[in-house]
Amino acid sequence: MIRRWNPETVAAPAGPYSHLAHVSAGHDVVVLAGQIGTLPDGSLAGEDSLSQARAVFANIERLLDAAGAGPAQLVKLFSMVSGTEHLPGFRTAMTETFARWFPDGDYPPQTLVVAAALAAPALTVEVEALVAMPR
């Protein structure tokens, strides 16, 4: 089981995430490499961050499925956006996705970094994840 919570001894989260996550014994850890906004055929989903972020979350969903997991098994997300101008598109896609993945608001911890650039100039969003699956 994964338990997520926000202790009252620190400020409430500034966004859709939890401060803490605890994975009980009997789980295997799966690490998802940073996912970029490409479609299954390898082409870029679009030039804008909204299109790319939607593709990123779709890729994460596909990887979770391939591992036999789902969003409930996400322990942590690490998100990178290449410039503040790409934050609105990323946040829109994240909000859409999280509404489906976490309808009860039980969000995993998440870190969001705004970087000067990602691995290629056309990339606007990249997200990696940590998953815990019951044995």
48 in a domain, yes or no?
A: yes
pLDDT tens, residue by residue, 64-86: 999 999 999 999 999 999 999 99
pLDDT tens, residue by residue, 5-22: 999 999 999 999 999 999
Q: How many domains does the chain have?
A: 1
12 in a domain, yes or no?
A: no
Global confidence as pTM: 0.94
> Which CATH number does the domain housing residue 27 bear?
3.30.1330.40
Please, are residues 33 and 39 in contact by the beta-carbon 8 Å criterion?
no
2 in a domain, yes or no?
A: no
Q: Which domain holds residue 62?
A: 21-134
Distance (Å, whole) CA 114 – CA 86: 9
Residue 77: HSE in the Cβ half-sphere, 13 Å Cα cutoff: 25
75 in a domain, yes or no?
A: yes
In 3-state terms the chain splits into helix, strand, coil percentages (rounded to 5) of: 30, 30, 40
